[in-house]
Structure 1
Amino acid sequence: MKKFKTIIMLLLVAIALYAQRTPRVTNDFKEGDLIFQVSQSRQSPFIQLATNSPWSHCGVIVEKEGKLYVLEASNVVKLTPLKKWIDRGKMGRCKRRRVLNKPVKIKYAKYLGKRYDLAFKFNNDKYYCSELIYDIYKDQFGIQLATPKPVKSYHIFGLGKLMKRRGMDPNQKVVAPCDLL
């Protein structure tokens, strides 16, 4: 009987943990919302370390044919179904930020298929996640969501080899996901 109670208790704990990780806010998303997650990519821990933030990846919500997607820069700029994007993050956690409290329409076609920018440089026809959002809001709505700052202003101690391999300059300006929050 004691083993049975233990199994039931563990099952209840597992269900509670699963329920916590399941996003409950997908109906609250609107086009133009920014969405942040803890990515499971290999570079995520480096971004978290450098920015002192748990949020390492971001995108912007767009609507296409009545369904919600995340426009993101990951390998290439693409649309990912919202639920799939959330599920892909660590523990299914995400954070939403609404910039404008009015309906917006994101013009995203010109970004689709653009390559990911491993060097995190502005204005080179490649995009990293937070740069994509920054550019969209600046170009389409005239809103500068953050002030780009030099890479060296982040916690980059110990990342010199990685930065050199990627062709990054400590003085180049960037916008990190945490800056958009």
Structure 2
Amino acid sequence: MKKSTLLFSFMAFTILASLYTEKSKGIASLFSQNATLKNGDLIFHTSQSSQSQAIQLATKSKYSHCGIIFQESEKYFVFEAIQPVKYTPLEQWVARGKEGKYVVKRLKNAAQVLTPEVLRKMKAVGEGFKGKNYDSTFEWSDDKIYCSELIWKVYQRATGLEIGKLDKLSHFDLSAEAVKKKMKERYGNKIPLNETVISPAAVFESELLITVKSN
């Protein structure tokens, strides 16, 4: 191999490594003040999954994915419903979203509600969902589960609070072509319009929450 080719390859590798390092530093710096995060906080971002656009159009919100933040030792994780339901390192979760943008929300009275005992109960409820398959048809059952459904059920069963208003699938805007295509893909000609659903947008807009961090 010619020296010029070797030099070019080395320079390209150096540039890519530098970009990756800077991105990693940038993500880490977002959470350099982890004291602002608390167990039970909710985090939202715009997913880059194939269904994200349909969710955004149907719910009139740019936020299409969400999860619950929990701390283990000195690290933070997002408990989320993907495939399968699992704990994802916080920095990895943020990096997976569009442009690394996110919003963190918290119960207005979190200090009073989210006691150590309640947080233990939340984790226990969550353990019942851990490892379950992602629910791509958004059914209101515990057999499979999707992101906002996970949040709603963990909070409701551990605290009695309903984070976001339950709705019917028919109440969303299903007119966009991207939405129609995804619905056809998931349901064929039998769309369950009366299915109970909870969207990321409904959780995000809950009056029980306040925004504590965003970028």
Q: Is TM-score (shorter-chain normalized) higher than 0.5?
A: yes
Structure 1: distance between partners of 2:98 and 2:181: 26
SS in 2 for 1:98: strand
Contact 1:33 1:98 in 2 (8 A): yes
Give the drift of 1:166.
1.7
Pairs within 5 Å for 1:23-102: 23=30, 26-99=34-107, 100-102=109-111
TM-score, normalization by structure 1: 0.82
- When residues 64 and 148 of structure 1 are mapped into structure 2, their CA distance, relative to the original with a 3 A threshold, is same
Q: Distance in 2 between matches of 1:124 and 1:33?
A: 22
- For residues 1-181 of structure 1, the aligned pairs below 5 Å read 23=30, 26-99=34-107, 100-102=109-111, 103-104=114-115, 105=119, 106-107=122-123, 108-157=126-175, 158=177, 159-167=179-187, 168-181=191-204
**SS, match of residue 169 in structure 1:** coil
The Cα of 1:110 is off from its aligned counterpart by 1.9
The corresponding residue for 2:7 is: none
Q: Mind listing any 5+ residue stretches in structure 1 that lack a counterpart? A: 1-14
- Which residue of structure 2 aligns with residue 11 of structure 1? none
Q: Secondary structure at the match of 2:193?
A: coil
Structure 1: how far apart are the matches of 2:151 and 2:84? 14
- Distance in 1, Cα, partners of 2:169 & 2:40: 27
RMSD: 2.2
* Gap regions ≥5 residues in structure 2: 1-21, 205-215
- Distance, in Å, in 2 between the alignment partners of 1:79 and 1:60 is 9
- Equivalences, count: 165
Amino acid at match of 2:43: I
> Percent sequence identity over matched residues?
37
**CA offset at residue 62 of structure 1?**
1.1
Which stretch of structure 1 is more off in the superposition, 54-63 or 108-117? 108-117
